[in-house]
Amino acid sequence: MANQNEETNQSGEGLVPPPQIPPDGLWENCLYAMWRTPLGLIGVATTTISIVLMLIGLALDMLGLVENPYFAALCYMILPGFMVVGLLIIPLACYVNRKQWLKDSLGAHLDDKSLCIDLSNPRHKKYMVGFTALTVLNVAILTIIGYEAYHFTDSPYFCGKLCHKVMAPEYTAYMRSPHSKVKCVECHIGPGASWFVKAKISGLRQVVAVFTDNFSRPIPAPVHHLRPARDTCEECHWPEKFHGEKVKKFYSFSNKDQENPEVQEISLHIGGQNPVTEKFEGIHWHVSSDVKVEYQPLDDRRTKIGKIKVTHADGVTEEYDIGHGDETETAGEEHEWRTMDCIDCHNRPTHVNDRMMERVDFGLLSRRIDPGLEGIREDSITVLEKEYTSREEAEELMIKTLIELQAGRHGKAYVDENGELLVKAGQFLLETWMNNVWPGMKITWGTYRQHLGHQDADDGFGCFRCHNDEHTTNIGKVIPQDCDLCHDEPE
Ligand code: HEC
Ligand code: HEC
Ligand code: HEC
Ligand code: HEC
Ligand code: HEC
């Protein structure tokens, strides 16, 4: 090696020596670049520090010592990024240093062949072993972290909590829904690699949107690129399942009578594939395997429906339309056809938003709101309808406002006497409000509604979008609205 040094010095004679002359050969030059050049040091330091932090983070996360989505994002998404960047900087530093060296002609006589690997050379052997060991270690670390990152980005915790400001409404509703143990990704992504990739790309776009504060408030529903239900819902449910009849009771009160509810009892013909006749019947007929129902929504929210096409098993099709002859009302080519699936009725299977009146009446029924407090139904509605600028403000004012309203009705003494009941009612209302209203996201009562039934038919939601006696075929057949088509009185 001393020999090489001499040669180097000889050929470099007469030139201005570069500030960093490697002690010997080209390989040494590379290693030298790693440790002695600023760029090389940045690379090595970035890699080493990221790995150490990542391993500490991994340990803390696995032991459950830190439970914070930002912490997990740091460990599984940001630090691995730094590690990879560090690993890329190292060869770059070698390359830059070598180029500089050759340019300065110090190593000009050492043609490129000297950078080949010669395993008979014990030094080369040592480097190779070192290099291989480090590579195996790095790949192992990245694999473990990648696996954890995959689980982390698939968890409701990640979806719902990391973008807390944005996803809190969906996460909150989800947590108290029948699907609270179903991961977000099972409905929003579903199985298969291509959707996985699509979702990660769209996820990345969403993260950027959140950081640049460039997203719509509220997030629009429906989600137009949601995966068809056959690949998501039908991984767990199946249309053939025969649900038969389901009796449901609806209780409602009025401001005049807070004590005795009006009870509507209906028996819903949910149906499915009847095990006796093997025919599809009832409400789930729309998703039966031998019929296809398609429609053309006229607006983004799918609250107005133009043409409807039914294709039967034998290939016969029926087409319904509104306002035959009235071109302004009906759908044109520009409106996309959509095949009806679970989500056209169960549009909020997990992001369940309450109807305000129903919640107040539930409060009275469950006696969380004491029906004995005169005027409490009306005051509860006033309190829930009131606009608060933030959730903090609601927390501060809601119970107080309720008590003030009652004091206005009955006087101070009454309020003092019933203080406990009023606070209990106030707490129930606050909880209900907090579950449904998000001023920051511009979400309030009725922002998101569901299509099951016809309680919101006036606003274009529910079954009556089609079952409205207005959609007719050219021979005048209508989609019926007869009450006992969908439900009747239980026996
Ligand atoms: C059972 C299936 C299901 C699960 C689980 C689920 N979603 Fe959804 N999500 C939907 C459907 C269906 C829609 C479309 C809603 C509509 O059309 O009104 C939706 C809509 C949304 C929207 C659009 C805004 C809105 O409220 O309509 C967001 C955001 C969202 N989901 C986030 C999440 C997050 C975060 C999780 C997990 C914490 C999650 N979802 C879990 C089915 C699901
Ligand atoms: C990973 C499995 C899974 C997926 C995916 C899934 N569900 Fe469910 N779903 C369940 C389970 C489990 C229940 C029963 C919960 C219970 O009984 O509390 C349920 C219950 C329901 C119910 C009855 C709710 C009630 O109030 O009792 C409906 C309706 C429903 N799911 C619709 C859907 C729709 C629509 C989708 C697709 C957007 C979907 N599910 C996706 C597992 C799933
Ligand atoms: C035409 C509208 C419509 C379509 C399409 C539809 N459903 Fe339903 N489904 C209903 C109605 C209405 C109910 C009764 C809701 C209630 O309990 O208030 C119901 C009830 C259910 C229930 C609960 C049954 C029970 O016994 O409580 C499940 C689960 C369900 N549907 C799953 C699905 C799945 C999965 C799909 C898609 C394959 C689907 N539904 C398609 C309207 C529909
Ligand atoms: C996109 C349009 C559309 C929507 C929305 C819709 N339906 Fe239908 N429905 C139809 C059509 C079309 C038929 C077939 C009418 C016929 O052939 O007489 C039908 C038929 C039915 C039938 C009779 C099925 C049978 O046994 O033959 C029931 C029950 C029914 N719908 C219930 C509902 C309920 C409940 C909802 C809301 C949760 C709903 N539909 C929403 C289009 C729709
Ligand atoms: C296309 C199917 C369909 C038709 C037609 C229909 N309903 Fe309903 N109705 C439903 C469904 C589905 C629900 C359950 C909604 C839910 O679970 O929240 C419901 C719920 C109800 C309720 C209880 C909820 C409430 O609004 O208080 C009443 C009352 C009711 N229907 C009355 C009627 C009457 C009266 C008619 C005839 C003019 C009728 N319905 C026609 C599907 C239908």
Ligand 5 centre from 384 Cα, in Å? 26
Dist CA 266 CA 491 (whole Å): 10
Atom of ligand 2 nearest to the CA of 346: 35
Strand extents, DSSP E, 174-256: 244-252
Atom of ligand 4 nearest to the CA of 487: 29
> What is residue 69's predicted lDDT score, i.e. its pLDDT?
83
Phi/psi of residue 438, nearest 5 degrees: -135, 85
Ligand 3 and 268: CB distance under 6 A: yes
Dist CA 379 CA 255 (whole Å): 10
Whose Cα sits closest to atom 6 in ligand 5?
A: 483
Q: Give CA separation, 469 vs 304, 321, 323, 479, in Å.
A: 14, 11, 11, 6
Ligand 4 and 377: CB distance under 6 A: no
Q: Alpha helices of 386-486 — where are they, by DSSP H?
A: 391-410, 412-417, 419-436, 483-486
Whose Cα sits closest to atom 42 in ligand 5?
A: 453
Dist CA 480 CA 488 (whole Å): 15
Atom of ligand 3 nearest to the CA of 237: 35
Residue corresponding to tokens 């979008």? 465
CA dihedral sign of residues 343, 232, 176, 438: negative
| Whole-number CA gyration radius for the chain | 34
Ligand 2 centre from 89 Cα, in Å? 49
> What is residue 214's predicted lDDT score, i.e. its pLDDT?
86
Dist CA 109 CA 177 (whole Å): 74
Pairing of strands 487-488, 262-273: antiparallel
Dist CA 53 CA 207 (whole Å): 23
Mutate to test the pocket of ligand 3, among 293, 345, 461 (most ligand atoms within 8 A of CB): 345
Dist CA 465 CA 458 (whole Å): 10
> What is residue 23's predicted lDDT score, i.e. its pLDDT?
44
Whose Cα sits closest to atom 17 in ligand 2?
A: 178
> What is residue 25's predicted lDDT score, i.e. its pLDDT?
64
Ligand 3 centre from 361 Cα, in Å? 24
Whose Cα sits closest to atom 15 in ligand 5?
A: 453
CA atoms within 13 A on the CB side of 311: 7
> What is residue 170's predicted lDDT score, i.e. its pLDDT?
93
Strand extents, DSSP E, 45-118: none
Exposed (0-12), middle (13-18) or buried (19+): which is 363, by Cβ within 10 Å?
A: buried
Whose Cα sits closest to atom 41 in ligand 3?
A: 342
Ligand 4 centre from 309 Cα, in Å? 12
Beta-bridge mates of residue 308? 295, 320
Ligand 4 centre from 467 Cα, in Å? 7
Atom of ligand 2 nearest to the CA of 232: 5
Beta-bridge mates of residue 247? 267
Whose Cα sits closest to atom 40 in ligand 4?
A: 463
Mutate to test the pocket of ligand 3, among 249, 267, 287, 295 (most ligand atoms within 8 A of CB): 287
CA atoms within 13 A on the CB side of 112: 3
Q: Give CA separation, 357 vs 150, 348, 363, 376, 384, in Å.
A: 42, 18, 10, 13, 10
Ligand 5 and 467: CB distance under 6 A: yes
Mutate to test the pocket of ligand 2, among 236, 247, 268, 354 (most ligand atoms within 8 A of CB): 236
Ligand 5 and 454: CB distance under 6 A: yes
Q: Provide block-wise average pLDDT over 10 residues at a time, the chain (491 residues).
A: 41 45 61 84 94 92 84 90 93 85 63 65 84 92 90 84 84 93 90 84 83 87 89 91 93 95 96 90 92 93 93 92 63 82 95 95 97 96 96 96 96 94 97 96 94 93 93 90 93 79
Crossing angle of helices 26-36 and 79-103, rounded to 10°: 130
Ligand 3 and 33: CB distance under 6 A: no
> What is residue 484's predicted lDDT score, i.e. its pLDDT?
93
CA atoms within 13 A on the CB side of 143: 6
Dist CA 15 CA 411 (whole Å): 100
292 closest CA partner among 341, 345, 241: 341
Atom of ligand 3 nearest to the CA of 341: 5
Ligand 2 centre from 178 Cα, in Å? 6
Whose Cα sits closest to atom 34 in ligand 2?
A: 233
Q: Could you tell me if 69 and 149 are in contact, meaning their C-beta atoms sit under 8 angstroms apart?
A: no
CA atoms within 13 A on the CB side of 239: 23
Ligand 5 centre from 484 Cα, in Å? 9
> What is residue 10's predicted lDDT score, i.e. its pLDDT?
43
Atom of ligand 4 nearest to the CA of 453: 38
Domain boundaries, the chain: 2-153, 156-219, 244-341+463-488, 356-441
Atom of ligand 3 nearest to the CA of 243: 26
